[in-house]
């Protein structure tokens, strides 16, 4: 009985090895660098264009964020952003476009369940924890900073 069990384990391990995808770390990092760099170049182009149109730095930055989020959500709706993230990995997931994609992807996926119980309930499935812990950590750090100022440490 143990010979059969041992043979099954060996066959299973061979099967897992066969179907598990292998990735070259250096190639994955290069792809992430290319995609992330391209997104940043597009963002810098938007900033420069807005600045050349006479907008101040803060307004140009706001327009840049708005355009990048819109394009990301639009490409997510068309199903193109998922292809980009599959190829570019973290290069497409880390910038603001990745955050917009995480929100839009949930909205697209659950839209068949309706406006309230689909989109309304599930839109922040992935982005919710990021927002929650981002706000919480900034609140805690703000308290620490305030306390340091009150005690003359900062």
Q: Quick one: pLDDT at residue 13?
A: 87
Q: Which helix (H) or strand (E) holds 74?
A: helix 57-78
How far apart CA 120 and CA 99 sit, in angstroms, is 17
Model confidence at 1, pLDDT cuts 50, 70, 90, reads low
> Environment class of residue 90 by beta-carbon count within 10 Å: exposed (0-12), middle (13-18) or buried (19+)?
middle
Model confidence at 93, pLDDT cuts 50, 70, 90, reads confident
Model confidence at 22, pLDDT cuts 50, 70, 90, reads confident
143 vs 102, which has greater pLDDT?
Answer: 143
φ/ψ of 2, rounded to 5, equals -70, -30
Predicted confidence (pLDDT) at residue 150 exceeds the cutoff of 90: yes
> Environment class of residue 22 by beta-carbon count within 10 Å: exposed (0-12), middle (13-18) or buried (19+)?
exposed
Q: Quick one: pLDDT at residue 112?
A: 75
pTM: 0.68
Average pLDDT, the chain: 88
55 vs 23, which has greater pLDDT?
Answer: 55
154, two tokens: 């900062």
Closest CA to 130 of 101, 87, 107, 91: 101
**How do residues 61-79 score in pLDDT, each as one tens digit?**
999 999 999 999 999 989 9
């Amino acid at each position: 009985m143990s010979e059969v069990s041992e043979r099954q384990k060996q066959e299973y391990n061979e099967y897992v090895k066969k179907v598990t995808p292998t990735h070259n770390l250096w190639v994955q990092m290069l792809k992430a660098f290319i995609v992330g760099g391209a997104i940043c170049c597009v963002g810098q182009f938007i900033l420069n264009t807005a600045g050349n149109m006479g907008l101040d730095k803060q307004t140009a930055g706001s327009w840049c964020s708005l355009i990048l989020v819109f394009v990301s959500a639009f490409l997510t709706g068309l199903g193109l952003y998922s292809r980009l993230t599959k190829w570019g990995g973290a290069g497409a997931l880390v910038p603001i476009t990745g955050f917009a994609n995480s929100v839009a992807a949930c909205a697209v996926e659950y839209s068949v369940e309706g406006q309230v119980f689909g989109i309304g309930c599930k839109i922040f499935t992935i982005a919710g924890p990021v927002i929650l812990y981002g706000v919480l950590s900034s609140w805690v750090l703000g308290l620490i900073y305030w306390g340091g100022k009150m005690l003359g440490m900062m």
